[in-house]
């Protein structure tokens, strides 16, 4: 018997449901396959740093699988459609009896997987899918009226209750298949997609490094998380998002490690705040399944289709480059461009600025983030953008608009973070760092830094009018 594990965004051997199930039959020959689909990735705006992260993780994964006696095959084709045909041929050639894979919840991915299931079943191959990138399967936690939750707080409450009733199991890595491990690695040629290097100190490559980061985080920093997580100058968050997005780490591993180090986390206390973020992650995944329109460029709230977004290509470019004249927004965008990651508080500030100060369609921002983020993930990114745009489920109320200057003053009071990314403000004293041009004018200094591209107060009034008009029109 031959079992095939089709790997996608689950690049690990520990706690991998599909891999574990494929290896359950002791005497089966188990092989693995990864299919790169560069054209599809272009369509999905995958960031070159994420492509590099996947590439590097694949190499490590191949090594770990080989030690277990499992050969990792690799193939590149254009897109998902081509990958379905390739899988059929591959299964035929390798005489595969059963295919094992972990679900992806995005619309195109689900369509592809449905096609694979159909075609392989016709071919006589048994196909088994698993809910693996979430703590609890989408659709399994519903309201009293048997509907999908649209509001986070009751969802989170119900989720915790379910988790307290029984934790999802965390599976170990499979045992080695053969007496002697495989010694040769099949060729992995780099995929035909732009790749860009990233700082490995910031983003752990491979599952051993991810587990180490997780363990260290759950011991102590998780207790400081509630107090520190909103301050971008501090290293107050886990920075595990790329691992979770590509699957070098699973959310179940996070949950189990958290509870091992902090047994109260399911109930209350500091550590429960970080658990809440893992639940936000699942919430957005569950929403994708319940409302597939979220994958199709559509707002959740239908009335927001009537919002009159402005065409402002120059201002959009200024935002992308971190040249809006608002220091906290610019520092945020430069962190993103330079590292492929942005602090969560800053994602909210930068998104709000694009939408509610520049009145630019949130979908442009969503796409730009995706094209640069190393941790780009459709569910979380779309959720974050729709939250900021007030177009989503449980979104920020449309009339509540962040003041980018006040946000900077609150969350980077001394300008420590701003200074890291805006060297052109080096001469500006701490207490006026959020108003650099006022200081420059008063002191007859010239700053090589743009004037604000929009005046917040006036922009706010215009935005309120745009939202009000859309509401009236629907």
Given candidates 19, 31, 333, 348, which one binds ligand FAD under the rule CB under 6 A? 348
Given candidates 80, 191, 369, 439, which one binds ligand FAD under the rule CB under 6 A? 369
Residue nearest to ligand FAD as judged by C-beta position: 384
Assess 440 for contact with ligand FAD (CB under 6 A). no
Least separation in angstroms between residue 172's CB and ligand FAD is 23
Helix axes 313-321, 327-339, angle to 10 degrees: 70
Least separation in angstroms between residue 281's CB and ligand FAD is 3
Least separation in angstroms between residue 351's CB and ligand FAD is 4
Residue keyed to tokens 């054209």: 39
191 or 203: CB nearest ligand FAD: 203
**Beta-carbon neighbour count of residue 278 at 10 Å?**
20
State in Å, rounded, how far the first CA of the chain is from the last one.
Answer: 59
Q: Per CB under 6 A, which of residues 265..284 are in contact with ligand FAD?
A: 277-278, 280-281, 284
Stretch that binds ligand FAD, among 170-178, 180-188, 294-302, 370-378 (CB under 6 A): 370-378
Stretch that binds ligand FAD, among 11-19, 25-33, 120-128, 346-354 (CB under 6 A): 346-354
Q: For Cα atoms 456, 461, 462, give the angle at the middle one, nearest 5 degrees.
A: 95
Contact 252, 133 (CB under 8 A): no
- Give the 3-state secondary structure of residue 470: helix
Q: And the tokens for 283?
A: 């919430």
Stretch that binds ligand FAD, among 41-49, 103-111, 163-171, 376-384 (CB under 6 A): 376-384
Contact 378, 109 (CB under 8 A): no
Given candidates 261, 361, 375, 394, which one binds ligand FAD under the rule CB under 6 A? 375
Q: And the tokens for 337?
A: 């461009």
Catalytic residue among 55, 108, 309, 409: 309
Assess 61 for contact with ligand FAD (CB under 6 A). no
Q: How many residues of this chain bind ligand FAD (CB under 6 A)?
A: 28
The number of CA neighbours under 13 Å toward the Cβ of 307 is 25
Residue keyed to tokens 């698993």: 130
Helices (H), ranges, 76-231? 80-93, 107-122, 152-165, 207-219, 221-228
Strand partners, 82: none
Q: What is the Cα–Cα distance from 198 to 255, expressed in whole angstroms? A: 27
Helix axes 270-290, 251-261, angle to 10 degrees: 160
Assess 347 for contact with ligand FAD (CB under 6 A). yes
Q: What is the Cα–Cα distance from 432 to 415, expressed in whole angstroms? A: 9
284 or 467: CB nearest ligand FAD: 284
Contact 289, 138 (CB under 8 A): yes
Catalytic residue among 41, 341, 362, 421: 362
Least separation in angstroms between residue 31's CB and ligand FAD is 30
Assess 66 for contact with ligand FAD (CB under 6 A). no
Stretch that binds ligand FAD, among 12-20, 37-45, 343-351, 435-443 (CB under 6 A): 343-351
87 or 351: CB nearest ligand FAD: 351
210 or 422: CB nearest ligand FAD: 210
Given candidates 203, 231, 385, 467, which one binds ligand FAD under the rule CB under 6 A? 385
Contact 329, 322 (CB under 8 A): yes
C-alpha torsion 41→44→47→51, nearest 10: -30
Assess 288 for contact with ligand FAD (CB under 6 A). no
Assess 255 for contact with ligand FAD (CB under 6 A). no
Q: And the tokens for 30?
A: 């188990």
Encode 350-376: b = buried (16+ Cβ within 10 Å), e = exposed: bbbbbbbbbbbbbbbbbbbbbbbbbbb
Assess 210 for contact with ligand FAD (CB under 6 A). no
Least separation in angstroms between residue 388's CB and ligand FAD is 5
Contact 223, 261 (CB under 8 A): no
Assess 463 for contact with ligand FAD (CB under 6 A). no
Assess 12 for contact with ligand FAD (CB under 6 A). no
Least separation in angstroms between residue 435's CB and ligand FAD is 25
Active-site residue, 309 included: yes
Assess 383 for contact with ligand FAD (CB under 6 A). yes
Assess 33 for contact with ligand FAD (CB under 6 A). no
Active-site residue, 344 included: yes
Active-site residue, 280 included: yes
Residue 305 sits at φ, ψ, to 5 deg, of -65, -20
Contact 170, 209 (CB under 8 A): no
20 or 274: CB nearest ligand FAD: 274
Name the helix (H) or strand (E) containing 7.
Answer: strand 2-7
Q: Per CB under 6 A, which of residues 388..427 are in contact with ligand FAD?
A: 388
Query: Annotated catalytic sites, by residue?
Result: 277, 280, 309, 344, 362, 385
Residues within the interface to ligand FAD (CB under 6 A): 229, 237-241, 244-245, 277-278, 280-281, 284, 344, 347-348, 351, 369, 373, 375-377, 380-381, 383-385, 388
């Amino acid at each position: 018997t031959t079992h095939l594990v089709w790997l996608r965004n689950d690049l690990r051997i520990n706690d991998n449901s599909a891999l574990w199930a494929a290896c359950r039959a002791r005497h089966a020959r188990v092989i693995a396959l990864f299919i790169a689909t560069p054209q599809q990735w272009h369509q999905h705006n995958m960031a070159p740093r994420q492509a590099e992260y996947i590439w590097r993780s694949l190499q490590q994964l191949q090594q770990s699988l080989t030690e277990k006696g499992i050969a990792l095959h690799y193939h590149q084709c254009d897109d998902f459609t081509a990958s379905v045909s390739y899988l059929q041929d591959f299964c035929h050639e390798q005489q595969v009896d059963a295919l094992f894979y972990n679900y992806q919840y995005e619309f195109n991915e689900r369509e592809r997987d449905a096609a694979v299931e159909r075609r392989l079943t016709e071919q006589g191959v048994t196909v088994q899918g698993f809910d693996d990138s979430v703590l609890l399967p989408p659709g399994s936690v519903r309201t009293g009226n048997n509907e999908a939750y649209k509001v986070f707080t009751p969802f989170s409450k119900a989720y915790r209750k379910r988790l307290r009733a029984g934790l999802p199991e965390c599976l170990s890595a499979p045992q080695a298949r053969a007496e002697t491990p495989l010694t040769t690695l099949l060729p992995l040629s780099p995929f035909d997609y732009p790749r860009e290097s990233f700082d490995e100190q910031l983003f752990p490559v491979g599952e051993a490094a991810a587990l180490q980061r997780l363990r260290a985080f759950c011991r102590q920093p998780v207790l400081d998380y509630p107090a520190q997580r909103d301050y971008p100058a501090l290293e107050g968050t886990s920075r595990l998002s790329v691992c979770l997005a590509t699957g070098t780490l699973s959310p179940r591993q996070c949950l189990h490690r958290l509870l091992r180090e902090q047994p109260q986390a399911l109930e209350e206390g500091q550590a429960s705040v970080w658990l809440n973020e893992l639940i936000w992650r699942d919430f957005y995944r569950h929403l994708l399944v319940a409302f597939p329109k979220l994958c199709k460029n559509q707002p959740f709230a239908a009335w927001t289709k009537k919002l009159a977004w402005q065409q402002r290509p120059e201002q959009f470019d200024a935002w992308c480059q971190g040249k809006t004249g608002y220091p906290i927004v610019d520092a945020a965008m430069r962190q993103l461009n330079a590292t492929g990651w942005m602090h969560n508080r800053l994602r909210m500030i930068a998104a709000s600025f694009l939408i509610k100060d520049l009145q630019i369609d949130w979908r442009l921002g969503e796409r730009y983030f995706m094209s640069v983020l190393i941790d780009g993930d459709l569910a979380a990114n779309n959720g974050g953008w729709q939250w900021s745009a007030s177009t989503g489920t449980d979104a920020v109320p449309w009339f509540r608009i962040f003041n980018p200057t006040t946000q900077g003053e609150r969350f980077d009071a001394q300008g420590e973070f701003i200074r890291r990314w805006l060297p052109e403000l080096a001469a500006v004293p701490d207490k006026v760092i959020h108003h650099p041009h006022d200081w420059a004018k008063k002191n007859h200094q010239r700053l090589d830094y743009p004037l604000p591209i929009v005046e917040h107060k006036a922009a706010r009034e215009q935005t309120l009018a745009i939202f009000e008009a859309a509401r009236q029109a629907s």
